[in-house]
Amino acid sequence: MSAQAPSTVVPTDAELLQAQADLWRHSLYYLTSMALRCAVQLGIPTAIYHNGGASTVPDLITALSLPATKLPFLRRLMRLLAASGVFTVDNSGEEAIYRISPTSYLLVDGVADDGHINHSSIVLSATSTHCVEAALGFADWFKKDVVTPPFKELHGATLFHDSMEDIDEEYHRLANEALASHDNFGIDMALRQFSDIFEGIQSLTDCGGGDGTTARAIVKAFPHIKCTVLDLPEVIEKIPADGVINYVGGDMFKFVPPAQVVILKLVLHHWSDEECVKILAQCKKAIPSREEGGKVLVGDIVIGSSPGPILETQLLMDIAMLTVSKGRQRDENDWHEIFMKAGFSDYKLVKQFGARGVFEVYP
């Protein structure tokens, strides 16, 4: 007997009209990104901030020295960005007043706050032609029997690596500035929220710790902790000795300096599962038993840890990793699997931190 054709559920008129609107929105999402890029390039968040945190569009035309003919067009751009949450808007008067939101606060230059990190480089890097062109080639990439990331397949270079510098020195600088902003943001907040995690720790290795920003913040908050930073020799040799942090140049796939605790903060999402297992296995060798306080702290995105916009962000970040690297973002089951494969006995998802989570992983 032939298989019965599946029944088709015919959408209602209302559902079809909503579906059309949804398709328009999804197809045009890139224009929100481009509008945001435009706002950063023009310096709109900084202009509003330095105007007391609120500006009309005519105010912006004057502050940014834009042609008066652009007034109606800038109104349309700002309306979209406000609807997207980049700015807040007060429409109660004759002229809309735009204010800095938490999102646009991260795009302001010259904020007198030690914890503020400007995220403009992240916007400009992610919306660059280098990344957009790699994403435009998804369909062709999926048809090929290759696992090389689309970015490298297209450009012949790896994002954040010296091979990219040979192709576009300015973009290489921008991308690494974006990476530093991404990795270093929120350290002080994390140390305040996670202070209990550091209780009883005497020594710590920050694996892939770059210029030591995280390690220095830890020592400032917890002066009794002896901190070591491990990174590639070419990274470490550029860092001046400060007598506070012990800097070690090396390869985390081969050796991790011994400590009571090892930190992997926003490191593992750059690597494949197999590579993560190798890194974690070296971390396990570097720490004592659980009874002696040995553990690995992993800070990274945990897909599905929060619903709504945070989940969408996590999934978008996963496709971003697919585009530019061998790595990926993982849900808790994925993390459990690589922890166990690396030889650990147990773990605990300790905290949620925006789109990220913090694990304690035990030998």
Report the distance separating Cα 245 and Cα 233, nearest Å.
15
Instruction: For tokens 């993390």, name the residue.
Output: 335
Q: Which residues are registered as beta bridge partners of 87?
A: 100
Which among 259, 343, 269, 268 is positioned nearest to 295, based on CA atoms? 259
Q: Which of 182, 269, 270, 336 is catalytic?
A: 269
Q: Which helix (H) or strand (E) holds 49?
A: helix 44-49
Under 8 Å between Cβ of 151 and 159: yes
State how far Cα 191 lies from the chain centre.
18
Q: Which residues contact 51 (CB under 8 A, 6 or more apart)?
A: 59, 63
Signed CA dihedral, 322, 326, 329, 333: sign only: positive
- Residue 9: exposure state from Cβ atoms within 10 A (0-12, 13-18, ≥19): exposed
**CB burial readout 204-239, b (16+ within 10 A) else e:** bbbbbbbbbebbbbbbeebeebbbbbbbeeebbeeb
Active site residue 269: yes
- 275 C-beta neighbours (distance < 10 Å), count: 16
Q: Is 354 helix (H, G, I), strand (E, B) or coil?
A: coil
Structure tokens at 20: 């059309």
Q: Which residues, listed in sequence order, are joined to residue 205 by a DSSP beta bridge?
A: 228, 262
Catalytic residues: 269
